[in-house]
Amino acid sequence: MASPSETFDKATKLQCQFIEKLSRLDRENVNLFAGSLASFLAGDGRNKFVYGLAAGRSALSLYSFLQLLHNHLDNVFPCTLEDPVQKHFLTNRNNLGIAVSGSGETPAVNKYIEDIKNQGGEIRLITANENGTAYRLVDGYDKGSILVIEGKTKYDTDHTLTSKLSPMGTEFELEVMAFLNAVFTEILSGVEGTCDGSCRDYLSVVQDFADHCHLVARMDPVRLERWFGRLFPRSGRYIIGGVGRSGLVARAFEMRFTHLNKTSYWDRDFNTPSFQIGDVYIPITGSGNTYECLQGTKSAFKNGADVMPITLNNDSRLVEIMEVKGRSDDVVFIPVKQEFADIFHNDGEGTTSSLASDYSRLRYPIFELNATIFTNSVVAVGAEFLGIEESGMKRLHA
């Protein structure tokens, strides 16, 4: 059996390949996708409503993109299936549904695709399955278009090494997250009327994502071995924390602990219990100064739980708390390029809530992408350590 750091290394390098694959997408298809969204979003004085039609971890990959839309375009209002206030479509709105379904067989996604079609709205589908129901529903619809991103989904049945290192749709989910954030540059250019069709900006962002991904593959194996040794051999509960886009990473990570047959919670769920001895709290925060994560850390320590943060900033209030408690070795630092890290060091200082600075609000999710890659590789390590096959994880999948 491979050591935890060896499994981590293999899983991370595999994910780097997934990111790099995005640079080989057909440029005409990338332009068509970006142009179709830009056409809908272009300013004409009317409010635009963009519905994220996805479920599970695919939804979390999509929601990061919806946040970018809302942050950059004043007249765009993102809605999700999880939002009871904005869930229903109205005929007098300018509706666009962005559907993401690797298999194309997610019942809720297909139901809402049909609803938007019945209301005369526009549909953009991203899928890995040209034979899926979602593809059939959108194909031929005059206000719909489809982008196929090849990637392993939870319905694939292969039992290769890939299924161990990237189980249950991890490949497709990661590619969707990276693609949408990379293509956003082309969408903005289209909205502004400056897109030249070369995909130059898209390719540049994909390359930047790939460069950052390779940094994760070079993390210190000795420190990682210790962290893994503290994380998995426990019977207590796993409580994962984070807000904003880091919160999306946290929720995706928490789902995988459930698939590993562990009792886990996202710290902002209504049913999340209080900390107790034996639990571990894993706050995910780039700045290390997020109010909710700091409060969660203090509460965890007060109640005898362990804290194992995932962060970027080694000069943060969170790291200071860990040092005071003598637990600095329990912190994982996600590597990014120095120019990006320098900006993060000052982000969030002095805030008393999760409200983000303008930089955090508009930036690309470099930390969140690398944290996603890191946590995906941690799941591969956990599956190896716990002796859980992908087939077992599927049985625990909702």
Q: Are residues 13 and 139 in the same domain?
A: yes
Q: Which domain holds residue 267?
A: 221-395
Residue 210, both tokens:
């790939």
Q: Are residues 35 and 151 in the same domain?
A: yes
Q: Where are the alpha helices (DSSP H) in the chain?
A: 4-21, 27-41, 56-72, 107-118, 133-138, 161-165, 170-192, 200-216, 221-231, 244-259, 291-302, 317-324, 338-344, 358-362, 366-386, 390-395
Q: Are residues 147 and 243 in the same domain?
A: no
Condensed to tens digits (0 to 9), the pLDDT of residues 234-259 reads 889 999 999 988 999 999 999 999 99
Highest mean pLDDT: which of 12-26, 65-79, 336-350?
12-26
CA separation for the pair 254, 350 (Å, rounded) = 29
Q: Are residues 227 and 173 in the same domain?
A: no
Q: Are residues 208 and 229 in the same domain?
A: no
Q: pTM for the full model?
A: 0.91
Q: Which of 162, 189, 216 is a domain's end point?
A: 216
Number of domains the chain is built from: 2
Condensed to tens digits (0 to 9), the pLDDT of residues 170-207 reads 899 999 999 999 999 999 999 988 888 899 999 999 99
Q: Are residues 172 and 92 in the same domain?
A: yes
Q: Which of 336, 286, 284 is nearest to 312 (CA)?
A: 286
